[in-house]
Amino acid sequence: MSEMPGEPWTALSADFCGPLPSGDYLFVITDEYSRYPVVEIIRSTSGHTVIPVLDKVLAAYGIPKILKTDNGSPFNSYEFREYAASIGFSHRRITPRWPRANAQAESFNKPMMKNIKAAEVERKSWKQSMYRFLRQYRNTPHSSTGVNPFKLLFGRETNTKLPSIPKEKRPELDEYARQNDENAKTRMKHLADLKNKAKSNDIEEGDTVLIRNEVKKNKLTPIFDPRPQTVIKKKGTMITVSDSEKQTTRNASFFKSTKHSAKFSDQLDEEEELDIETHPKEENKNKISNSKSSNTYPQTTIISSRL
């Protein structure tokens, strides 16, 4: 369970939605402190398109300390790495194939896309509907913090058509939001653990594990790859393993501890190779012996009779 950032707009999450029927993509940036979302419409997810749009957003709202994204191609490019270094923020990529690690952006995308789909069904402008949704979302108290995102980010209430009574400024607003955020995250984690039947993770560095097969070639493919791998790094629930060929990083739920060591597996492979090499020789010997026995004919006696 991640802690709430110390200040607004210091830790951001970014993600893409799309493509939409118009061919557009939505570039979604969410402040993890206030949950304030910024959505930009783009035509491509390439680095040449994403970097100028992100630069525009950061020019308007400020430069964060951390930007968290998935492992998509625009965020793995050399240009994006150079841009992050020149601007001065730290780029953090989440665990591969584990979108829950970018939960802030993912949780906002679901209701936003639902709103856009409803607009398409009703044959309304999806852009206008999305802007209306953003306005309402930013001014509605968030279920985690209990405070609307606009107020947490800018420190004031926005003007709406709803009647309101002027309230005194609450210096404990930050503490109030943090307490609500912690309670909400604890509750959601408890429900998620019950639903997924989660177990405690006791895997440590140096342990030997099996990794779950993500692609099943056929119905006989085992759930876990039978080749043991060694854990070389662990950071929270993100685990990196290595074999003789490559390194793989996944969430802890992709692994299972095993008593067999990687060294034993290598020896076993060598023995299997020796069996494969010696087996044809044994078969040839059997074939030769069988052929000799088949070429041995019983002796026959030829009796000639004189007439």
Q: Kindly report the number of other CB atoms within 10 A of residue 172's CB atom.
A: 9
Chain segment 212-260, per-residue pLDDT in tens: 888 888 878 888 888 888 988 888 788 888 887 888 888 888 888 887 7
pLDDT exceeds 80 at position 32 = yes
Pairing of strands 11-17, 66-69: parallel
pLDDT exceeds 90 at position 57 = yes
Task: Give the model's pLDDT for residue 80.
Answer: 94
Task: Name the more confident of 56 and 189.
Answer: 56
pLDDT exceeds 90 at position 295 = no
Sequence letter at residue 187: R
Query: CB-side exposure of 305: number of CA atoms within 13 Å?
Result: 1
Q: CA-CA distance, 78 to 62, in Å (whole number)?
A: 23
Q: Kindly tell me the sign of the dihedral angle through the C-alpha atoms of 65, 68, 69, 70.
A: positive
pLDDT exceeds 70 at position 110 = yes
pLDDT exceeds 70 at position 281 = no
Q: CA-CA distance, 54 to 127, in Å (whole number)?
A: 20
- The whole-number average pLDDT for the span 29-40 is 94
Phi-psi region of 97 (alpha: psi -120 to 50; beta: other; left: phi over 0): left
Q: CA-CA distance, 190 to 128, in Å (whole number)?
A: 38
Confidence grade of residue 206 (pLDDT, cut at 50, 70, 90): confident
Task: Give the model's pLDDT for residue 167.
Answer: 59
Q: What are the residue ranges of helices labelled H in 97-166?
A: 103-121, 126-138, 149-154
Pairing of strands 25-31, 11-17: antiparallel
Does residue 146 contact residue 154 with C-beta atoms inside 8 Å?
no
**In what order do the strands lie in the sheet containing 66-69?**
37-42, 25-31, 11-17, 66-69, 90-93
Task: Name the more confident of 289 and 181.
Answer: 181
Query: CB-side exposure of 109: number of CA atoms within 13 Å?
Result: 19
Chain segment 112-167, per-residue pLDDT in tens: 999 999 999 999 999 999 999 999 999 999 888 889 999 999 988 888 776 766 65
- The whole-number average pLDDT for the span 55-69 is 95
Residue 297 — φ and ψ, nearest 5°?
Answer: -100, 150
Chain segment 92-102, per-residue pLDDT in tens: 988 777 666 66
pLDDT exceeds 90 at position 267 = no
Task: Give the model's pLDDT for residue 302.
Answer: 41
- The whole-number average pLDDT for the span 29-47 is 94
Task: Give the model's pLDDT for residue 181.
Answer: 82
Pairing of strands 247-251, 238-242: antiparallel
Mean pLDDT across the chain: 80
